[in-house]
Amino acid sequence: MDRRRFLSASAASAMLAGCATAQPPLALARPARPCLPRVNVSEERVIRTVAGLRPYRAGGFVVRAEPLGDKLLVHNYGHGGGGITLSWGTARLAADLGLPGTEGPVAVLGAGIVGLTTARLAQDRGRPVTIYAAALPPDTTSNIAGGQIVPASVFERDAVDAAWRAQFDAACAYSWRRWQLLVGADTGVRWLPTYDASTGPIGSPAMAQFHAGREIIAAADSPFGRPVARFQTMYVEVGRFLRLLTAEFLGAGGRIAVRRFATPAEIVGLPERTVFNCTGLGSHELFGDTDLVPKRGQLAVLLPQPEIDYAYTLGGYMFPRADGILLGGTWERDEWDAVTTPDAIAGIMALHRRINARDCPT
């Protein structure tokens, strides 16, 4: 046998021998259910409890212009649980109504997120602005908001018409773009993966954009042991952002006057000819909007856990921030007192103990 034939035969024999002695592949065990760092929901970790009143209208927010004496009054209020999310968008709608065809200084009523964003857009268009407000950050409803960039509890479908839906879509689109430009450590705006209980189709493109990269996860593959939707959205550390926005407003020449208005007649006495009403729930009494009602939200805030790098809305909501872990889940209609109640806080804590993710082994 020549050398070449010998090497070929030897290689073939080795291959056959290997096949004869090879063991069948082991059946792979199904990987354990995915895990996430677990939120430590314990009483001793509660650092504060807070309550805020969401300005809710079944018919959605109001962005509308009307005359008031010799002034142009532009309303921008009633955002329900979507005030942070929609603030830039409805501010743009309001500015487009109130600024073209007018000139001179403008007044903004209210120093929450809606008032501040409206004031900043007016400044960007070259107008001097004075904010008149009864309460300033950190004593506004906006300071208590969770800060998730998803519009929640804004309207009821059968209570709005096509014209309002067009406003809503425009506000969503502009806000979604604007918040993306604000992401950064200095602003307190960041992206986080979010787990949500709603696994069905999202009804409209306006809402779908707030659920970037959305996927449905089956119960067996879910860290919560139940089917969930997972998506990416942004979160705002609200206190830090409002401080930054206020500083930018003042740095651009803005003025703030602490003042409460009891009647529209008092607004007529202001020196500014263009007025933006961003008083939120205050418009119930000031402008007689009886469709505007509070939905009280109570929060238990836990010590920060830097390892918690996700959020969820699974009956209750958990948003991690540098200033604490926010646990919420109450929507109390027609409750006008911004106070926490022991039963509600105890219920929130119990709810989140049940929701909590499967912990990763250490």
Which residues face 236 on adjacent strands?
A: 189
What integer best gives the mean pLDDT of the chain?
91
23 band by pLDDT with thresholds 50, 70 and 90: very low
Rounded distance, CA 311 to CA 309, Å? Answer: 7
Beta-carbon contacts of residue 301 (< 8 Å; ≥ 6 apart): 46, 47, 48, 49, 50, 323, 324, 325, 326, 327
Report which of 243, 15, 270, 233 is spatially closest to residue 130, judged by C-alpha positions.
Answer: 270
Mean pLDDT of 220-244: 96
What are the structure tokens assigned to 40, written together? 């430590």
What are the structure tokens assigned to 191, written together? 């992206």
pLDDT the model gives residue 220: 93
C-beta separation of 239 from 323 below 8 A? yes
Helix (H) or strand (E) holding 286: helix 283-286
12 band by pLDDT with thresholds 50, 70 and 90: very low
pLDDT the model gives residue 1: 45
Rounded distance, CA 286 to CA 206, Å? Answer: 31
Rounded distance, CA 176 to CA 59, Å? Answer: 22
Report which of 52, 116, 111, 153 is spatially closest to residue 279, judged by C-alpha positions.
Answer: 111
pLDDT, tens digit, 9 for 90 and up, residues 110-119: 999 999 999 9
Report which residue type is found at 197: A
Mean pLDDT of 138-160: 93
Give the domains, in start order, of the chain with CATH numbers: 43-355 (3.40.50.720)
Beta-carbon contacts of residue 316 (< 8 Å; ≥ 6 apart): 327, 328, 329, 348, 351, 352, 355
Rounded distance, CA 359 to CA 362, Å? Answer: 9
pLDDT the model gives residue 14: 39
pLDDT, tens digit, 9 for 90 and up, residues 27-56: 444 445 689 999 999 999 999 999 999 999
Phi first, then psi: give them for residue 274, nearest 5 degrees. -115, 125
Which residues face 108 on adjacent strands?
A: 131, 276
C-beta separation of 61 from 160 below 8 A? no
Helix (H) or strand (E) holding 335: none
90 band by pLDDT with thresholds 50, 70 and 90: very high
Q: Which of 28-37, 146-155, 320-329 has the lowest mean pLDDT?
A: 28-37
Give one DSSP letter per residue of 12-75, joined into a string. Answer: HHHHHHHHHHPPPPPPPPPPPPP--PPP---GGGEEEEEEEEEEE-TT--EEEEEEETTEEEEE
pLDDT the model gives residue 7: 34
Rounded distance, CA 282 to CA 293, Å? Answer: 10
pLDDT the model gives residue 139: 85
Give the pairing of strands 106-109 and 274-277: parallel
pLDDT the model gives residue 3: 39
Report which of 143, 135, 76, 103 is spatially closest to residue 257, judged by C-alpha positions.
Answer: 135
User: Does 223 score more than 50 pLDDT?
Assistant: yes
Cα–Cα distances in Å, from 107 out to 63, 93, 274?
Answer: 16, 16, 6
Determine the straight-line distance between the first and last CA of the chain, rounded to whole angstroms.
63
pTM exceeds 0.75 = yes
Report which of 116, 72, 115, 64 is spatially closest to residue 93, judged by C-alpha positions.
Answer: 64
Helix (H) or strand (E) holding 326: strand 324-328
Q: Which residue has the higher pLDDT, 320 or 13?
A: 320
Three-state SS at 292: coil
C-beta separation of 123 from 250 below 8 A? no
Helix %, strand %, coil % of the chain (to 5): 35, 25, 40
361 band by pLDDT with thresholds 50, 70 and 90: confident
pLDDT the model gives residue 362: 65
> How much of the chain exceeds pLDDT 90, in percent?
86
Q: Which residue has the tokens 């709608």?
A: 93
83 band by pLDDT with thresholds 50, 70 and 90: very high
